[in-house]
Amino acid sequence: METIDDVGEFGLIARVLARLPLTDPDTLVPSGDDAAVLAIPDGRLVTSTDLLLEGRHFRRDWSSARDVGHKAAAQNFSDIAAMGGVPTALLLALVLPGDLPVAWVEEFAEGVAAECAPLGAVVAGGDMVRGELITISVTVFGTLEGRPPVLRSGARPGDAVCVAGRLGWSAAGLELLAAGIGGGDEASVGGTMADFLLAHRRPRPPYAAGPEAARAGATAMLDVSDGLLADLEHIAAASEVAVDIESASVPTAEGLRLDQVLTGGEDHALVATFGPATPIPAGWRRIGVVGEIGAGAPGVTVDGKPWDGPGGFSHFGPRE
């Protein structure tokens, strides 16, 4: 099997570039020079960055290289959508072991390209270095199309809390994999279990819902990456409000537990708040309300009470 050491750095770069979307009308100088040059029609650049580490964010025995490519792009594009923006380009930096098969990197690039395609986003450049563990760094750019960004700090008492996208599916898929179910592929299981496994391997953020919410007048918004309750805490703190979630209103599916829906991460749904007089856009579902802080601190409750189940994901220290 051909490895990275066999083809060398520049041979590998050529293989990867052949599989990635590299140009669009706003890419004035594409990958190939020391830096790319991108046009910013809106005059403002929306940007975010994230890392995926082998063994921490993905396992090669659980996810294909194409799955990892989809996931690397999706979790970053979702952050742009959460600001009300549209993703336009990304930079891709890879740390790769020398004995890694070239085919793995090629398939990874194809996964990135497939996630970019519906958005018309391009890969504007990046870097590759040798290391012990596969590490993927993605920096993504987007445009607000002339709209103001939707921040976490704009929620006000009386606003409706709404969600677009799925919740708990990725967490359910991860639990199946941890239990030894479906480690080969989704075809080894059936029904909703296969759907949960695919959701973990390839999240499906509702990209269009972010700009739609911004156009409708959303007061606050964010991407649900660490769990609904954990991420809503960020809106509560930034806006200095209380948030109450109605458990009967959250979107669910057969086979999901409430704790998976409320605290499971990596589905990359979007959660936003809308003023009382604002019509909720299609594709969004009301799941709660923003309230006054009162005597307590900003925070999130479920059915009027503190959540006493498992918390959301945290990279350091105890789970949130």
Q: How many CB atoms lie within 10 A of CB 32?
A: 9
Summarize pLDDT for 89-139 with one digit per residue, the tens: 999 999 999 999 999 999 999 999 999 999 999 999 999 999 999 999 999
Query: Alpha-carbon torsion 184, 187, 189, 194, what sign?
Result: positive
Distance CA 117, CA 23 (A): 12
Helix 209-216 with 65-82: angle, nearest 10 deg: 10
Query: For strand 86-96 and strand 135-143, is the pairing parallel, antiparallel, or unpaired?
Result: antiparallel
Which of the residues in the chain have pLDDT under 50?
313-320
Could you give the CA distance from residue 226 to residue 263 in angstroms, rounded to a whole number?
A: 7
- CA separation, residue 52 to residues 56, 68, 93, 157, 314 (Å): 7, 9, 11, 37, 14
User: Tell me, what's the pLDDT at 62?
Assistant: 94
- Asked if 225 and 231 count as a contact pair (C-beta separation under 8 A), the reply is yes
Residue 308 class from Cβ within 10 Å (0-12 exposed, 13-18 middle, 19+ buried)? exposed
Two structure tokens written together for 281: 């856009």
Residue with tokens 């294909």: 64
Tell me the two tokens of residue 159. Answer: 């606003």
Q: What pLDDT is recorded for position 317?
A: 45
> In the block, which residue shows the tokens 């990279």?
315
pLDDT of residue 304: 94
Give residues with Cβ within 8 angstroms of 224, minimum separation 6.
163, 165, 167, 231, 265, 267, 268, 269, 270, 271
For position 96, what pLDDT does the model report?
97
Q: Which residues of 201-234 are buried (b: 16+ CB within 10 A; e: fewer)?
A: bbbbbbbebbbbbbebebbbbbbbbbbbbbbbbb
Q: Which helix (H) or strand (E) holds 121?
A: none
List strand residue ranges (DSSP E) for the chain, in order.
27-29, 37-38, 46-53, 86-96, 122-130, 135-143, 160-164, 220-224, 242-245, 269-274, 285-291, 299-302
**Where do the H-state alpha helices sit in the chain?**
4-17, 65-82, 102-116, 169-178, 191-201, 209-216, 228-239, 258-263
Length of the chain: 320
Q: How far apart are CA 100 and CA 1, in angstroms?
A: 9
The pLDDT score that the predictor gives to residue 41 is: 84
